Amino acid sequence: MTEQIKILVADDQGVIRMGLAMILDHEPDLTTVAQAGDGEEALRMITQYDPDVVLMDIRMPVMDGLEATARITKAAKESGRGRPAVLVLTTFDDEAYVLSAVRAGASGFLLKDTDPDLLVAAVRAVHRGDSLVDPASTRVLLERCVELERQVGSGPAEPAPSAGRWTGPLAQLSEREREILVWMARGLSNRDLATKLFVSETTVKTHVSSVLSKLGLSSRVQAVVVAYEAGVVRPGEAEVRWES
């Protein structure tokens, strides 16, 4: 029997909630266990239904998706369970919120009008611990957000080309962990990394966990942001890969 991935859909628009649930429930390994109309309701339903993945809208009444995501990931980290993973649903109009969602602990983000097959692949990806970005547009969105932060002075400045990039918390990483971080930032999944580095996926997961722990991060996509901000990977270098 196929293991079921339990999903909670949180969006203040009922039509969108039902549409997402219909797409997900069509898959034999996915099941929507609950739907919420705001972040506060989502938190209550997580306690009740214990989902593996939460699809979280950003703009919602009562409690928005950013606050709800931060509370969910904090509770998961404190419990040591590492679940549920949060997959944020966004639009290009929400670009100012993307980095906030990532820093709140979201495992990834998708555009609301994404292809259904991509949505299904995304849920499976974050459930198994892979970082998730929409290959059609989200890398561009992430790069734009990091650049906007630099322009307004609210984010780390771009290091000079001759400056050492492996400073601060990054200096704690071993040579292998630095390599893992760079390739994660370039969009490689655990499976891709295992193939590229000629090691097992279990070994890759161990290295990824160590990178996140040393940098005080809760998701791979947060590591991608750190890599961009430190200049370890520069805009245009990343290439996104997907697994179904």
pLDDT value at residue 78: 80
Residue predicted with more confidence, 191 or 55? 55
pTM, entire model: 0.72
d(CA 91, CA 161): 33
Chain segment 85-103, per-residue pLDDT in tens: 999 887 766 666 777 887 8
- Give every strand in the sheet of 108-111, ordered side by side: 30-36, 5-10, 53-57, 85-90, 108-111, 132-133
Tokens of 95: 């670009």
Chain segment 63-73, per-residue pLDDT in tens: 999 999 999 98
d(CA 219, CA 107): 5
